[in-house]
């Protein structure tokens, strides 16, 4: 295989195929190219069977692109059989084969966020006899955090001083029992149960160790305790584990990512070869100098420094604006001027911010100037109510024991089975320990149900049984469309919506579910309803769906997004806004449990998104709850060398009252301003 297009470090990484390898890949250093070249090298030059190769990443998009690149090098025939997937897709694959050894059936349901919350709320209502109402989201988050740390219900211990701890200790075991009774798992269970399966069943573990003899993991700095344990179980023995990541871009600690996984890799796997990819192919020299200068202040990191063979490029602009509205005005004016001067497209510009609430002023100013823009983020397609209602029908058709979704569709669209009747059905089911679906098949045994209600229940049961048979023999998309027509789903949306435009958007979303099902049918050799629902459940929860995010990024429009969402992307011109203390670094990073290093990594990620031109902005005053408050420039600005930074003020205000002077003195604004030659 010809490796002449790779640099020396990249070639070394490709050729090191036996034993543990830690590939420290800096921003813009071509890591995806190295990973795909390494897989191709294993196939072509080392003669490794494709079935022995496992590559794991965090998003469906990354896995898809990786597979396409490998196929482009070696061809589809030679690549066939290798597994390139997300962690959760890999675990679904393993559980579908062997979950029966844990007491589940193979046709288990995968609960998403809304299904989980509904179950948690029901459990909270059962156990809460006091006046205090607990937040179901908080309870679910704590359960999820426990699962990501591989803490089962019987070992969960409340944190001292956390008022939610005792509640979670009560709800968590009930939640797990309910899931198992419904033959369902949640997203976190996919990994936790797989780890349990591999730990408790040596024969299963040995089977997968023998199958996957070459492991590669992308974005290793983002792995949590459960993912780490899964990888270690699979890799122990042959130890052919290559992990690729950048500790300087570890920005997901708030959702369980453990920076120690990458920092301690050499301790966990003695004899590790460490290769640093430091040559950057994205940014100019001045941008990299600023990024290196900021990140070197972190103590918990592997030593490395990005460099480029290209020139220094433009200096980095820093603008101190009058307030948040002025900040937005300056950014939009600069976009319009730079677009004209450099003949750039709107999509060449990105506005990056620490918190989503910052987008409002920029959206208003962009609209005022008639500049097209896209806001990355917001509610995902498969989380929308009408979409979840349709999917709930499909899930119950596949698994009638899925009572959360069964209750969701029982009176959707409305068929005369109100809350009172539903409550009687649920109580009868619980008191007699009979699955709710069986109760619905014999509603006459439930006291207090009227004739019309029982007739509606019978019609509903007949419809579900009829379509369960039809889905087994017919085309999925055609059968799905027929189900919606029989339910008069779109008529119900029109009838119940107060806004006709909103009703039409919701109708389009329902239609898009069938489109997604049709696309799935075209891609798969043997499409099944179960397979379609598995694909839907595995859509990345923490990134906008492909049809949303990717389509938006292709439009000729300015991109607005949070720093967390920007990771992995690049733009010719970047505006990193809100460079102020309490925004970047965020106020939550201060105090006893300070996490200033993760905030610095966020700043580093923002800086390294820029290819040619980087502009940093902050406001001297900013509204908070409608009141204008003075702000202090970000402490990270102090860490950028003077020789790469060009500073200017945008008609910034000066303190005129004694009160304002005191505030400026207290937050050290004047000292930082003088240091930056404002």
Catalytic residues: 31-32, 218-219, 249, 609
DSSP state of 591: S
Known binding positions:
25-32
Which residue's entry shows tokens 């988050």? 141
Query: What is the C-alpha separation between 149 and 151, in angstroms, rounded?
Result: 6
**Terminal-residue alpha carbon distance, the chain:** 55
d(CA 289, CA 600): 15
CB atoms within 10 A of CB 597: 20
Distance between CA 650 and CA 315 in Å, rounded?
18
Counting Cα atoms < 13 Å in the Cβ hemisphere of 396 gives: 24
Peptide bond into 413 cis (omega under 30): yes
Q: How, if at all, do strands 610-619 and 621-624 pair?
A: unpaired
Give the residue among 248, 230, 125, 116 at the shortest CA–CA distance from 178. 116
Cα–Cα distance list, 540 to 224, 351, 584 (Å): 16, 23, 27
Distance from the Cα of residue 76 to its chain's centroid: 29
- The DSSP call for residue 158 is P
| Alpha-carbon distance values, 67 to 124, 209, 246, 499 (Å) | 44, 22, 22, 44
Per the structure block, which two tokens stand in for 416?
Answer: 């005369």
CA nearest to 300, candidates 600, 587, 607: 600
H or E segment at 103? none
Q: Token digits for 27?
A: 């921003």
Calpha distance 105→73 (Å, rounded): 40
Cα-flanking dihedrals φ and ψ of residue 373, to 5°?
A: -150, 160
Q: State the binding site for ATP.
A: 25-32
Contacts (Cβ under 8 Å, ≥6 apart) of 637: 318, 579, 616, 618, 645, 672, 676
φ/ψ region of 234 (left if φ > 0, alpha if ψ in -120 to 50, else beta) reads alpha
Q: Across the strands, what pairs with 244?
A: 23
Q: How far apart are CA 505 and CA 492, in angstroms?
A: 14
């Amino acid at each position: 295989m010809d490796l002449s297009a790779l640099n020396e470090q990249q070639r070394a990484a490709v050729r090191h195929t036996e034993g543990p390898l830690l590939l420290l890949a800096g921003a813009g250093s071509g890591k995806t190219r190295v990973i795909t070249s390494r897989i191709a090298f294993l196939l072509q030059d080392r003669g490794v069977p494709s079935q022995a190769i496992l590559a794991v990443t965090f998003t469906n998009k990354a896995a898809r692109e990786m597979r396409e690149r490998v196929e482009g090098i070696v061809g589809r025939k030679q690549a066939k059989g290798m597994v390139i997937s997300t962690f959760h897709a890999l675990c679904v694959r393993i559980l579908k084969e062997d979950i029966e050894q844990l007491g589940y059936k193979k046709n288990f349901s995968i609960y998403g966020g809304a299904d989980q919350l509904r179950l948690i709320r029901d459990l909270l209502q059962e156990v809460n006899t006091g006046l205090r109402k607990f937040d179901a989201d908080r309870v679910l988050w704590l359960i999820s955090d426990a699962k990501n740390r591989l803490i089962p219900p019987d070992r969960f211990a409340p944190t001292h001083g956390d008022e939610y701890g005792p509640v979670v200790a009560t709800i968590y075991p009930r939640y797990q029992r309910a899931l198992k009774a419904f033959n369902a798992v949640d997203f976190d269970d996919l990994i936790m149960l797989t780890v349990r399966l591999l730990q408790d069943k040596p024969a299963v573990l040995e089977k997968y160790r023998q199958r996957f003899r070459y492991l590669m993991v992308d974005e290793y700095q983002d792995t949590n305790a459960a993912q780490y344990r899964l990888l270690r179980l699979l890799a122990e023995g042959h130890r052919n584990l290559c992990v690729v990541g950048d500790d300087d871009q570890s920005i997901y600690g708030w959702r369980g990512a453990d920076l120690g996984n990458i920092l301690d890799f050499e301790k966990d796997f003695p004899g590790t070869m460490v290769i640093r990819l430091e040559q950057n192919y994205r940014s100019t020299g001045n941008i990299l100098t600023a990024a290196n200068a900021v990140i070197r202040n972190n103590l918990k990191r592997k030593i490395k420094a990005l460099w480029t063979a290209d020139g220094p490029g433009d200096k980095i602009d820093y603008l101190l604006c009058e307030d948040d509205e002025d900040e937005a005005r300056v950014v939009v004016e600069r976009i319009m001027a730079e677009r004209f001067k450099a003949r750039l497209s709107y999509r060449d510009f990105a506005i990056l911010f620490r918190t989503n609430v910052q987008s409002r002023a920029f959206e208003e100013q962009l609209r005022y100037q008639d500049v097209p823009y896209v806001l990355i983020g917001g509610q995902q397609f498969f989380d929308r109510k009408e979409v979840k209602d349709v999917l709930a029908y499909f899930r119950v058709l596949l698994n009638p024991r899925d009572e959360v979704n069964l209750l969701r569709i029982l009176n959707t669209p409305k068929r005369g089975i109100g809350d009172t009747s539903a409550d009687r059905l649920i109580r009868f089911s619980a008191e007699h320990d009979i699955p709710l679906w069986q109760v619905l098949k014999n509603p006459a045994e439930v006291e207090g149900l009227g004739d019309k209600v029982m007739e509606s229940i019978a019609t509903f049961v007949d419809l579900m049984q009829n379509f369960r048979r039809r889905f087994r023999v017919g085309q999925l998309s055609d059968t799905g469309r027929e189900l919606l027509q029989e339910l008069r789903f779109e008529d119900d949306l029109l009838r119940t919506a107060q806004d006709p435009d909103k009703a039409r958007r919701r109708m389009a979303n329902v239609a898009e579910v069938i489109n997604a099902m049709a696309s799935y049918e075209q891609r798969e050799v043997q499409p099944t309803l179960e397979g379609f629902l598995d694909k839907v459940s595995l859509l990345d929860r923490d990134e906008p769906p492909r049809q949303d995010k990717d389509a938006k990024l292709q439009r000729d429009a300015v991109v607005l997004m949070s720093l967390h969402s920007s990771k992995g992307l690049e733009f010719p011109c970047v505006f990193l806004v809100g460079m102020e203390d309490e925004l970047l670094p965020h106020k939550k990073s201060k105090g006893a449990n300070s996490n200033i290093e993760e905030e610095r990594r966020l700043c580093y990620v923002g800086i390294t998104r820029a290819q040619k031109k980087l502009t940093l902005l902050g406001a001297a005053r900013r509204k908070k709850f409608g009141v204008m408050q003075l702000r202090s420039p970000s402490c990270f600005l102090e860490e950028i060398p003077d020789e790469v930074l060009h500073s200017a003020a945008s008609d910034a205000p000066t303190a005129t009252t004694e009160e304002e002077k005191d505030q400026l003195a207290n937050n050290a604004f004047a000292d930082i301003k003088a240091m930056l030659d404002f």
